[in-house]
């Protein structure tokens, strides 16, 4: 996809959080580099796009123009659950200002997660991961436990989708688990993560990325639950100076 095509998708016709037991409506999310990419409420209302939905803005187009992920996915259908925009194998050199997107939708939730970089090389120093969703009706239990079928995106061109299981112990306020690539063995383990209301955050920075050997350690995890009775979740794993291993994830309760 060329720069002009992507720009047409956006421009031409074509954080209040939900705490335990409280339902609030808001578009919430995170990006690891807001100078490159921002997530928030979509502002474009033309063609296949709708304002007021989970959206994204990228520096090459304009950080104030948020386009909804649903409209992008309708224009560029996912393959194996992941939508790729501006694959350098088919795009001309003009794509560089927009970068390369890989993102996925979390089941039936209005919730998206993914990665972006200026090139297809996640080690180019621009690798950014993100998630964004609508937390309307979100409630989180304070007792019991649940498992989540989780998918992740990290170096998608090489690793493909990461899959695994996270376990939430709501009584103990912890989340743990790992996701891995079936093709390369690349694995991200989130360690022990705290739960506070709808928020997910590391109590200690102990996430790891491995592939035969340890690639990165001391990672931090942040994210949120979405939906009634914490039906879904999404978040990020970040490794500081090793941003090429940063990971976005999302999943639904089993």
Q: Report domain extents, the chain.
A: 3-133, 145-253
Read off the pLDDT of each residue in 119-134 and give the average, rounded to a whole number. Answer: 93
Percent of the chain with pLDDT over 90: 72
* Cα–Cα distance for residue pair 253/233, rounded to 1 Å: 8
Contact of 116 with 100, CB cutoff 8 Å: yes
Considering the entire predicted model, what is its pTM? Answer: 0.88
Contact of 20 with 139, CB cutoff 8 Å: yes
Read off the pLDDT of each residue in 125-151 and give the average, rounded to a whole number. Answer: 97
Indicate if the pLDDT at residue 10 is higher than 50.
Answer: no
Percent of the chain with pLDDT over 70: 86
Contact of 154 with 188, CB cutoff 8 Å: yes
89 — pLDDT class (breaks 50, 70, 90): low
b/e string for 171-189 if b means 16 or more Cβ within 10 A? eeebbebbbbbeeeebbbb
CATH no. for 145-253 = 2.40.160.90
Please indicate whether residue 95 or residue 67 has the higher confidence score (pLDDT): 67
Which residue(s) pair with 83 in the sheet?
A: 103
Condensed to tens digits (0 to 9), the pLDDT of residues 213-232 reads 999 999 999 999 999 999 99
């Amino acid at each position: 996809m060329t720069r002009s095509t992507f720009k047409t998708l956006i421009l031409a016709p074509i954080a209040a959080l939900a705490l335990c037991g409280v339902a609030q409506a808001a578009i919430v999310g995170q990006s690891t580099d807001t100078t490159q990419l921002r997530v928030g409420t979509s502002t474009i209302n033309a063609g296949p796009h709708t304002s007021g939905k989970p959206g994204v803005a990228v520096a090459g187009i304009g950080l104030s123009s948020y386009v909804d992920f649903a409209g992008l996915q309708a224009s560029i259908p996912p393959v194996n659950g992941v939508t790729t925009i501006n694959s350098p194998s088919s795009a001309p050199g003009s794509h560089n200002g927009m970068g390369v997107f890989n993102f996925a939708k979390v089941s039936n939730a209005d919730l998206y997660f993914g990665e972006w970089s200026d090139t297809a090389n996640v080690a180019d120093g621009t690798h950014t991961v993100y998630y964004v969703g609508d937390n309307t009706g979100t409630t989180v239990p304070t007792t019991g436990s649940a498992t989540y079928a989780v998918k992740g995106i990290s170096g998608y061109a090489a690793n493909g989708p990461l899959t695994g299981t996270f376990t939430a112990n709501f009584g103990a306020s912890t989340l743990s688990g790992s996701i891995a690539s079936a093709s390369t063995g690349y694995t991200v383990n989130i360690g022990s993560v705290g739960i506070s209301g709808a928020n997910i955050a590391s109590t200690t920075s102990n996430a790891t990325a491995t592939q035969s050997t340890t690639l990165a350690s001391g990672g931090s995890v942040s994210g949120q639950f979405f939906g009634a009775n914490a039906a879904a979740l999404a978040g990020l794993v970040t490794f500081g100076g090793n941003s090429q291993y940063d990971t976005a994830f999302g999943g639904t309760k089993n």
